[in-house]
């Protein structure tokens, strides 16, 4: 039985009913037998996030991947952050849909350096003010923030976090998988793999030479997921929040392109 047949629409409390003019994404849950189905997502089932899906993405990000500073600032801030991210010519968010219903997202930047520079140049104040307001409402997080990130953010806000003059060699274009979440009830069916592959194809199309990501070490992260899908572990370290994290990379070399330039990435081992 296909995944789409095994998924049935259901509403989660708190979601307003869809209108015919602007259908809101619904949460879905698996109601069929779990574990047996092979992925049946097609390339066209993964695409850029649509306007009416953005609130769902922000909520899922905060509830299911509350790592790092931004998700802990709350859904309202995450919505602003995602909006800024998507306004950047180097930021994107891919959504996987089953029967038109979103079941997972991947927030990515296709050129990390250019993306960060764009955000600092165009969205610095728009993000700093709501972040400060969110911190004021969360005193314990504010203390944590000052201890772990205060000096760095102060330099950036003052415009002193600018990069040194570019070196002679052009920098490597690095695409980053910033966040990926699949609805819990849809996991284990290939949705995450489809999102990662779509991200890598997008990265190749954008001219990235390398893709990178960071995930928590141990059960709280997804290192095994990336290892099984062909990513190379490049190191581990303790992050600003004192969490052990693991870094991964994929080199997007010419091997991954056809002669027409279309990427032919298939990193997941065939089963
Ligand atoms: C990680 C995640 C995106 C994978 O999505 P998914 O749709 O379940 O992935 P797929 O169905 O394509 O792949 C499932 C496979 O990955 C493995 N896997 C999934 N999550 C894993 C994890 N956290 N650690 C190790 N392996 C994991 C499954 O065991 C399964 O293995 P198999 O292919 O050998 O059977 C999803 O589990 C998720 O949203 N997790 C919560 C958020 C999160 O941790 N995101 C990653 C942060 S970097």
Question: What's the pLDDT tens digit per position in 28-39?
Answer: 433 333 343 445
Pocket of ligand 1 (CB under 6 A): 64-65, 180-182, 187-193, 215, 222, 224-225, 228
Read off the pLDDT band of 260 (50, 70, 90): very low
Is residue 48 predicted with pLDDT exceeding 90? yes
What pLDDT score does 165 carry?
56
Query: CATH number of the domain that 53 lies in?
Result: 3.40.630.30
Domain count, the chain: 1
Q: Does a structural domain hold residue 77?
A: yes
> Largest alpha-carbon pair distance within the chain?
58
Q: Does a structural domain hold residue 135?
A: yes
Q: pLDDT tens across 132-189, in order?
A: 999 999 999 999 999 999 888 877 777 665 555 555 677 889 999 999 999 999 999 9
d(CA 34, ligand 1 centre) in Å: 15
Measured distance CA(22)–CA(29) in Å, rounded:
22
Residues in the chain, total: 271
**What is the domain extent for residue 81?**
3-8+40-159+172-256
Q: Does a structural domain hold residue 15?
A: no
Q: Does a structural domain hold residue 19?
A: no
Pairing, β 46-48 against β 28-30? unpaired
Is residue 202 predicted with pLDDT exceeding 50? yes
Pairing, β 174-182 against β 210-216? parallel
pTM exceeds 0.75, yes or no? yes
Q: Does a structural domain hold residue 111?
A: yes
Q: Does a structural domain hold residue 191?
A: yes
Read off the pLDDT band of 270 (50, 70, 90): very low
Determine whether 19 is exposed, middle or buried from the number of CB atoms within 10 Å of its CB (0-12, 13-18, 19+).
exposed
Q: pLDDT tens across 209-250, in order?
A: 999 999 999 999 999 999 999 999 999 999 988 999 999 999
Is residue 261 predicted with pLDDT exceeding 70? no
Helical H segments across 123-231, by residue range: 124-136, 139-148, 150-157, 191-205, 223-228
Q: pLDDT tens across 70-112, in order?
A: 999 999 999 999 999 999 999 999 999 999 999 999 999 999 9
Among 37, 64, 181, 192, residue to substitute to test ligand 1 (most atoms within 8 Å of Cβ): 192
Q: Does a structural domain hold residue 20?
A: no
Q: What is the mean pLDDT of the chain?
A: 82
Is residue 12 predicted with pLDDT exceeding 90? no
Average pLDDT over residues 180-208: 95
Q: Does a structural domain hold residue 30?
A: no
Read off the pLDDT band of 22 (50, 70, 90): very low
Conformational region of residue 101, where left means phi above 0, alpha means psi within -120 to 50, and beta covers everything else: beta
d(CA 52, ligand 1 centre) in Å: 26
């Amino acid at each position: 039985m296909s995944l789409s047949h095994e998924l049935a629409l259901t509403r989660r409390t708190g979601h307003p009913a869809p209108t015919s003019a602007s259908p809101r994404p619904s949460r879905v849950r698996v109601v069929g037998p779990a574990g047996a189905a092979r992925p049946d997502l097609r390339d066209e089932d993964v695409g850029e996030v649509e306007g009416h899906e953005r609130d769902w993405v922000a909520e899922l990000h905060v509830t299911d991947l509350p790592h790092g500073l931004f998700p802990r600032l709350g859904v309202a801030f995450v919505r602003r952050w995602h909006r800024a991210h998507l306004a950047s010519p180097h930021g994107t968010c891919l959504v996987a849909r089953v029967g038109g219903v979103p079941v997972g997202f991947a927030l990515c930047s296709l050129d990390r350096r250019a993306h960060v520079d764009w955000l600092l140049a165009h969205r610095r104040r728009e993000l700093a003010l709501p972040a400060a307001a969110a911190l004021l409402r969360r005193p314990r997080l504010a203390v944590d923030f000052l201890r772990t990130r205060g000096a760095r953010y102060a330099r950036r806000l003052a415009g002193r976090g600018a990069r040194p003059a570019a070196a002679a060699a052009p920098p490597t274009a690095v695409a980053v998988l910033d966040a990926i979440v699949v609805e819990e009830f849809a996991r284990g069916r290939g949705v995450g793999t489809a999102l990662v592959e779509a991200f890598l194809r997008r990265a190749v199309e954008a001219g990235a030479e390398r893709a990178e990501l960071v995930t928590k070490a141990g059960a709280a992260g997804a290192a095994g997921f990336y290892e099984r899908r062909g990513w190379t572990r490049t190191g581990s370290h303790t992050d600003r929040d004192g969490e052990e994290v693991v870094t991964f990379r994929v080199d997007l070399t010419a091997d991954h392109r056809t002669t027409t330039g279309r990427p032919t990435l298939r990193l997941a081992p065939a089963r």
